[in-house]
Every structure is written in C-alpha cells, then in structure tokens.
Amino acid sequence: MTTPVTIGRATLYCGDAREILPTLGPIDSFVSDPPYGMKFQSNHRIDQWREIAHDDTDELLLWACGLEPRHSSYMFCRWDNLGAVPKPKSTIVWVKDNHSMGDLEHEHGRQYEIALFYPGAEHDFPGKRPTDIIRCPRTNNDFHPTEKPVQLMRSFIEWTRGTVCDPFMGSGSTGVAAQQMGRPFIGIEKDPDHFATACRRIEEAQRQGDLFIESAA
C-alpha cells in the first residue's frame, strides 16, 4: 500500500480502493461517485478528458454499494443502474438544471443525477429528517470529467457521522467539503493526476482554516 498523504484531518491514498479499504478497518460513512458504466469521455472541451478507468461496466458501483459502513453510505449512479444494485433505502435526486448526456433524438433530456442511500447499523439523521431532493448548480468540470460541486457534497456529508470516506475521490470535491466542515476524511484515488489535483484542492481548503467550519460532528 502506498504511503498516505495527510492534510489537516484528511488522509489520502493513491491506489486501488479495493486493495486499500480492507486495510483500514471499519469506516463510519461513505460518500462517493464510483464509475458506473457510462463510458464517459468528453468531446465538448478544447482539452478533452480521457476516458475514466473501469467505467465500461458497473463492477465498481456494485462493489461500492456492497460496502458496510457503521453509519451510512451515499453512492452516485444512473437511473439505469437501479436494476443491478442492492435495493437502497432511498434514492436522492440531485437537480442540476442542465441536460446530461444521452440519446439526443429518442430520450428526454435528463436534468438530474441520483445517489443511493444505504443506512448502516448505527445510522441516525444528525439533524432533522432530510428530503430526497437537492438543488445545486453543476460545475464546469474544470478539475474532473464528472466533477461534483463542493456545496453538493457538503449536503451529503451533513447527513453522515464520523469519518467520511470517498473510495473514488477523483479531484477531491468530497474531501474539500469535509475539510471545510471540520470532518475527518479518507480519500482514495487510483489516477495519479486526479490524486495530485485532489491533494492541491484539499490543501487549499486546509489553508482557509476555520473560515468554513461549522461543525466537527
């Protein structure tokens, strides 16, 4: 296993989550956007993103949905993954108000993504019971081809307790959100370039100090 990078309350690993996670012991909460078989490759940028590794099947999504956190797990996916994954307790709808990829001639333009919620054995809602809809503008994917907004990830983290783990960290939006909120974070990313980006972004959030911190639940 590679030597982790520690930034504030974040511990970051560059490597395969399937190899690293079993060495870490029980995890409190997962918030992640695993590859789920969409074969993403951007053709709409001047500097095109390369294909996402292992995104040609739903293998990693199924693995991620089988993880057993103490508190809770939130995993992003597409609507057409629902028939393959373990039945979630809830599906959270992220309304992002822009058209997603798809069949431009024979499919309605999707303006949402979904996340699957799996409660752990010690689950409770830290605040009042949340709804299953979040409205948050998308990013411009400046750091990653499927980049999630930091504010969106803050909403998910607010529903969890303990250390938050993202086994498919990408460019580090979940880690930035956790750092802003004063939450312990474990991030794992296999791609060295995305890992370096995540480290930079989380370090920048760390330098902001207590500017964003609201709680350390």
To the nearest 5 percent, what fractions of the chain are helix, strand and coil?
25, 20, 55
Q: What is the pLDDT of residue 133?
A: 97
Q: What is the pLDDT of residue 102?
A: 63
Task: Give residue 44's pLDDT band: very low, low, confident or very high (50, 70, 90).
Answer: very low
Kindly report the length of the chain.
Answer: 217
Write the CB contacts of 209 (distance below 8 Å, at least 6 apart in sequence).
Answer: none
Q: What is the pLDDT of residue 60?
A: 95
CATH architecture, domain 5-211: 3-Layer(aba) Sandwich (3.40)
Q: Which pair of tokens denotes residue 123? A: 């689950």
Write the CB contacts of 81 (distance below 8 Å, at least 6 apart in sequence).
Answer: 36, 37, 58, 61
Range of lowest pLDDT (74-88, 141-155, 184-198): 141-155
Question: Exposed (0-12), middle (13-18) or buried (19+): which is 59, by Cβ within 10 Å?
Answer: middle
How confident is the model over 78-137, as pLDDT tens digits? 998 999 999 999 999 999 876 656 667 888 888 899 999 999 999 999 999 999 999 998
Q: What mean pLDDT, rounded, does the chain reach?
A: 86
Scored b (16 or more CB within 10 A) or e, 20-38 reads bbeebeebbbbbbbbbbbb
Residue type, 126: P
Write the CB contacts of 113 (distance below 8 Å, at least 6 apart in sequence).
Answer: 76, 78, 93, 94, 96, 100
Q: Where are any strands of DSSP class E within 160-211? A: 164-166, 185-189
Q: What is the pLDDT of residue 137?
A: 81
Task: Give residue 214's pLDDT band: very low, low, confident or very high (50, 70, 90).
Answer: low
Q: How far apart are CA 23 and CA 202, in angstroms?
A: 23
Residue with tokens 């390369």: 50
**End-to-end Cα distance, the chain:** 29
